[in-house]
Structure 1
Amino acid sequence: MKLANIIGHGEIIRALCRAVEQNRVSHAYLFAGPDGVGKTTTALAFGAALLCRQPDCGDACGQCRDCRQVAGQNHPDLHRIAPEGASIKIGQMREMLRRITLSPYQGQRQIFLVEQADLMTHEAANCLLKTLEEPPAGTVLVLISDRPQALLPTILSRCQIFTFHPLPAEQVAGILERETAVSRDELELLARLTGGCPGRAVRLAGMKGGYFAVRQRVVDMAAGLGRASVTEACRQAALLAEDKEQALVYLELFLLWYRDLLVWTETGAPGLLFNQDYLPLVDREARFYSRTRLLAIIKEIEGTRDSLLANVNTRLALEMLFMRLAGAA
């Protein structure tokens, strides 16, 4: 859990190390960028550096008790706040404020990582804003977001913002080689398909049933649903609803597929596609949809994903989605 071990994002890593080394740490940061690009990994490594008893050039030593606790995800002064269901709620922010008023348990700082910060409810965001206006000494907040534009401008103005950009495919392949057991041919293709986001690549590489087999099924389902009957759409939904976690993975791949159709419709640029190896099928399927229809489908899939995370009835949510994909609802 060291900043030096993070592949890519060199300018950000150097800036964070310099802030720790020079003791010029801001009270609030925003790590922004696409899902899986390395924001949370960097935030955890930054937290380790801030809590380390004997930092080396602004980075965690990796050996002391604090570093071991961060690596073991049990440091009492490193707190992670994530959405409960579809949002971060006011109660979670109030609990964070309560903890902030307390002294650090075993060091000089408390670190709070707010993951998917753009999913804060309006009440939770306003509660956080009060903390940012009068931050207590020794408290460092790191907001992590795929959609920083959804945050209140008053929150953005009080954070030091670091924007994470997708990594080159060769760097993603290197991370896959280190973190997974996929073959060389598969990791190179997977690195390209995931748009420079190593976290997404690692997640998909570990997919139950194998990424490439599951992706083939998703592509087949998407192509078939566009012209399916209501009965067939419901049958497909029922099969997928048997495993909620798997269903969430499928929805992510559906998003990538329809996103590719939209990008191809708008640009005709193969290099911008995630599924570049399916180009003939992308070209064929894109002809069946208008830009407006594709935007609506993407919104529907995102809404269904959020509903599943909020613990609605999985089968019912998928049936409604698949009927809409079939044009029946």
Structure 2
Amino acid sequence: METWSEVAKIQPLASRIILNSIKKDRISHAYLLQGERGTGKEAIALLIAKGLFCENNSVSDPCLHCNACKRIDSGNHPDVHWIEPDGQSIKIEQIRNLQKEFTYSGLESNRKVYIIKGADTLTVNAANRILKFLEEPSRQTTAIMLTDNSQAILPTIRSRCQVIDLRPLHPGEFQNQLVKEGLDQRTAVLMSTLTNNFDEALAKSHDESFAIARRLVIQLVEVLLTNPEDVYLFIHQYWVTHFKERNEQEEGLDLLLFAIKDILYYHIEHEAGMVFFAPSDELLEKAARLFSQEKLLAMLQAVLQAKRKLKQNVHPTLVMEQLTLQMQR
């Protein structure tokens, strides 16, 4: 999203609020943009910053072509500062460095912008330190704080920001965007179920590792249908050797959950809810014949239990061994 008209298609209320502020020259000294991943927080932050520094600003949209716009896009503008979590959190040293930077005059103007990604990860000391900026606002300073988890933001910080709520992307709109980028409809539906981050969805759709993950889920269903006695061997030879990292293991279980749900949906003739299989898939039809609804519900419960065990740091191989034993019954 590079223009406010594009933002308006996804976040109409947010774009209207911010655009009105820009047109009336009433930019807030601090914004808190809160919403799920993929709702456009970074794109909106960039647009605000470009609007403040654009050399050819036409009141609403920045030109996107001047040196200021290009440098903001590349992260090289000297008066636009990004703060991101260092590891799991934003630490007080990062805020101290930011404060030190703000003691200097702007290199090209007196205006400065700082953008804090993952503002919910501020340590208590860092959060208290950032309050100094928010409690003593300067007309020439704009803070933009981004968060996926608004509940973790200190009330003292929230009260000093203009809070902008970003709505989740509508699945249909998201899928249409992915199809325009070349994804087939079935893949777009699956990606919109896994993530609402556009860039992540595109990257995942072209990721060979993810393609293998999809195939492994299909193969696991086939083994359960045709040779259930071999499922334990399949898990050790193929599944655990591919899904090595925790996020991969969780995603593998998510895909398996979608596949089992689709078989259940086929049973109850709710094809619109399917995300993993195509309604015409022969494997889907075969699985629906051999697995009763009661069996599928038990399998769903087993997968959900396996996901909980992963969260509890149970060894992933043990989790999958227990899961396959439950699905064999």
Q: Is the 8 A contact 1:28 1:160 kept in 2?
A: yes
CA deviation vs aligned residue, 1:191-225 (integer Å, no higher than 9, x gap)? 5424654344234224344x45434536878999x
The one-letter amino acid of 1:250's match is E
Aligned-residue CA RMSD in angstroms? 4.1
What is aligned with 2:300? Answer: 286
Kept in 2: contact 1:79–1:111 (CA 8 A): yes
Q: Given residue 110 of structure 1, which amino acid in structure 2 is its aligned partner?
A: K
* Residue 53 of structure 1: how far off its partner (Å): 2.4
Residue matched to 2:22: 20
Correspondence 1:80-99 to 2 at 5 A: 80-99=82-101
What does residue range 209-224 of structure 1 map to in structure 2 within 5 Å? Answer: 209=209, 211-217=210-216
> How many angstroms apart in 2 are the aligned matches of 1:120 and 1:234?
42
Question: Which residue number corresponds to residue 205 of structure 1?
Answer: 205
SS of structure 2 residue aligned to 1:161: strand
CA distance in 2, matches of 1:156, 1:259: 38
1:149-204 CA-partner distances (Å, limit 9, x unpaired): 011111111111111112223321343245x443x324542454246543442342
Q: 1:35 aligns with which of 34, 37, 42?
A: 37
Query: Structure 1 residues 133, 148: closer, same or farther in 2, change over 3 A?
Result: same
Structure 1 CA distance for aligned equivalents of residues 82 and 100 of structure 2: 14
Name the structure 1 match of 2:103: 101
Any stretches of 5+ residues in structure 2 without a counterpart? 225-230, 263-269, 279-283, 324-329
TM-score (norm 1): 0.71
- Name the % identity: 24
Within 5 Å, which residues of 2 pair with 1:152-301?
A: 152-177=154-179, 180-182=181-183, 184-186=184-186, 188-190=188-190, 192-194=192-194, 196-209=196-209, 211-217=210-216, 239-241=242-244, 247=245, 250=248, 253-254=251-252, 256=254, 275=275, 277=277, 283-288=297-302, 293=305, 296-297=308-309, 299-300=311-312
Indicate yes or no: 2:6 matched with 1:5: yes
Single out whichever of 187-196 and 34-43 deviates more from structure 2. 187-196
Structure 2 counterpart of 1:244: none
Name the TM-score, length of structure 2 as normaliser. 0.71
Larger CA deviation: 56-65 vs 200-209: 200-209
How far apart are the structure 2 equivalents of 1:159 and 1:233? 52
CA contact (8 A) 1:112 1:140 kept: yes
Q: How many angstroms does 1:4 deviate by?
A: 2.9
Q: Which residue of 2 aligns with 1:313?
A: none
Structure 1 spans left out of the alignment, 5+ residues? 242-246, 265-269, 302-318
Q: Which residue of 2 aligns with 1:308?
A: none
Higher-Rg member (1/2): 2
